Amino acid sequence: MMGTKRARWFSPTLTPYLLVLPVLLYYAAFWLQPVVTVVIQSFRDPVTGAFTLNNFALVLQDKDFWPAFWNTFIIVSISVALEFVVALALSLLIYRRFWGSGIFFFLMLIPMALPPVATGAIWKTGLTAHGWLNSLLIHLGVLAEGKKIYWLGTPRTPKWQLLTLIILVDAWTVIPSVMVILVAGLQNLPREVIEAGYVFGGTYWRVLRDIILPMLRPTIQTAVVLRLISAIQIWLIIVLLFGFSRVPVLVERIVYYHEEVRGLDIAPAMTTGYTVIVAFIVSAAALLYLYLSGAFEGEKAS
């Protein structure tokens, strides 16, 4: 019989590996290869190809490196916290299932679905002095006729205002994608287990704190780590709003040196140097978060 013969060499224990193999090959070709390439490059002199740490030194000496680092740091730490809290609140709201919650959920998803360029278009047209936001304020009577607020700032605007604006715009864009994960996690919690909390004397807040959130922990870790990883890589919305170099952030520097000042002779060194440094920061932050939040311990227990 064909079937049995085949079964002998096509061992069932091998099947999962065969199914997973394409992914591994794919990652090797189109993820590992570029990663290795860029890491090697970052240790090489762009001209001679000799081993050097000069690229990193150049980056660290870049006058925009530390501003970019701190801007990124501030944006990430505030926005991840803010987005998580708001997304959690919203997902608990949607979990209640009120009349119209389905439509509400869909509307909430729209900012997530929007392409970054569309988001850029929305806020660029909204935040300019003659944009729709000021127009709306005039129509509402909040702003006097003909007056305007310079949301995007003037050269003298303090930096924290610009950062606040970036954080708010980013929150508008990103909260839905955090919320989606949390809603899914909530909906997958067994209902009775939560109800048991109420029956045995819990108020909403106690049940939330002692039962819902602990059970949601793996979901929360997933949502936060994904968010953390992409928050550190913020740049496009900033460039669309402010252009290059006005509010430097780490990834923006990579694109800046790769696209905007290609001709510059330090550009290749800067590009690879920044790339590897950013990758290092993202990985370190994600692993640190997972470690601190106890995701690895859970791995061992189960």
* Residues in 186-245 at the binding interface with another protein, rule: CB under 8 A: 187-188, 190, 192-193, 195-203, 206, 210-211, 214-215, 217-219, 221-222, 225-226, 229-230, 233, 235-236, 239-240, 243
Select 17 or 158, whichever has its Cβ closest to another protein. 17
Select 55 or 233, whichever has its Cβ closest to another protein. 233
Out of 19, 47, 144, 292, which residue is the one contacting another protein (CB under 8 A)?
A: 19
Q: Which range binds another protein by CB under 8 A, 47-55, 62-70, 75-83, 176-184?
A: 176-184
Backbone angles phi, psi at 104, to 5 degrees: -60, -45
Select 162 or 268, whichever has its Cβ closest to another protein. 268
Region class of 50: left (phi > 0), else alpha (psi between -120 and 50), else beta: beta
CB of 93 closer than 8 Å to CB of 154: no
- Report if residue 282 touches another protein, rule: CB under 8 A: yes
Adjacent-strand bridge partners of 51:
44
**Using CB under 8 A, which residues numbered 155 to 174 contact another protein?**
172
Instruction: Name the nearest CA neighbour of 38 among 217, 223, 258.
Output: 258
Select 6 or 158, whichever has its Cβ closest to another protein. 6
**Using CB under 8 A, which residues numbered 77 to 136 contact another protein?**
90, 93, 96, 98, 100, 102, 104-118, 120-126, 130-132, 134-136
Select 158 or 265, whichever has its Cβ closest to another protein. 265
Binding mask 240-279 for another protein (x = CB under 8 A): x--x-------x--xx--xx-----------xx--xx-xx
Adjacent-strand bridge partners of 44:
51
Taking the mean position of all CA atoms in its chain, how far away is CA 71?
Answer: 15
Residues that contact another protein, how many (by CB under 8 A): 114
The alpha carbon dihedral of 74, 76, 81, 85 has a sign of: positive
CA distance 224 to 216: 12
CA distance 293 to 302: 16
CB of 66 to another protein, least distance (A): 19
Structure token digits, residue 248: 């430097």
The alpha carbon dihedral of 176, 181, 185, 187 has a sign of: positive
CB of 198 to another protein, least distance (A): 4
Out of 20, 53, 85, 264, which residue is the one contacting another protein (CB under 8 A)?
A: 20
**Using CB under 8 A, which residues numbered 48 to 67 contact another protein?**
none
CB of 128 to another protein, least distance (A): 9
CB of 84 to another protein, least distance (A): 15
CA atoms within 13 A on the CB side of 128: 9
Instruction: Name the nearest CA neighbour of 161 among 68, 69, 247.
Output: 247
Helix (H, G, I), strand (E, B) or coil at 44: strand
Structure token digits, residue 235: 């740049």
